[in-house]
Amino acid sequence: MSDSGKSGHGLKLGVILCKWCHRVIDEMDTEKVVVYYLECDREDCAKDRDSRLEVG
């Protein structure tokens, strides 16, 4: 019997957000709620980041 889903509940508590645009980059199976902040690789995000620095 092939299982299409992961074993147990499919809820993932760990989430990786972009620290610039707060988009969800990835999700992880963790025992408790964990939020990591990384940089996404979207061009518009980097562009927005640069313009924000210019305004600074």
Considering only residues 14-53, where is the footprint of Zn ion by CB under 5 A? 18, 20-21, 40, 45
Q: Minimum Å distance from CB 37 to Zn ion? A: 10
User: Are the C-beta atoms of residues 40 and 46 closer than 8 Å to each other?
Assistant: no
14-18 vs 34-38, strand pairing mode = parallel
Q: Which is nearer to Zn ion, 1 or 55 (CB)?
A: 55
Q: Minimum Å distance from CB 42 to Zn ion? A: 5
The CA R_g of the chain, rounded to the nearest whole Å, is: 16
Binding site for Zn ion (CB under 5 A): 18, 20-21, 40, 45
